[in-house]
Amino acid sequence: MPKGEKLTVAYICEDLDISRSTFDDWRQKGRAPKCLRLPNGSLRVRRAEYERWLASLEDATQ
């Protein structure tokens, strides 16, 4: 994996087996991983941020 790799929202939705509308809802409620907005309007998530966010979900259940 390249350092600083950026993931697409489609990749994240596939990885989590959720719909794009679910991701958008989480994002609106502040529950999604932090996103970067590219100049063309597309969203990306840094892999490190995605992994941190997933780890935080594990901690919340313990």
Distance of CA 54 to the CA centre of its chain: 9
pLDDT at 28: 97
DSSP assignment of 21-61 equals HHHHHHHHTT-SPP-EE-TTS-EEEEHHHHHHHHHHHHHHT
Tell me the pLDDT band of 4, cut-offs 50, 70 and 90: confident
pLDDT at 1: 47
Q: Per-residue pLDDT tens for 9-60?
A: 999 999 999 999 999 999 999 999 999 999 999 999 999 999 999 999 986 5
Can you give the pTM of this predicted structure?
0.84
C-alpha atoms less than 13 angstroms from C-alpha of 62 in its C-beta half-sphere: 5
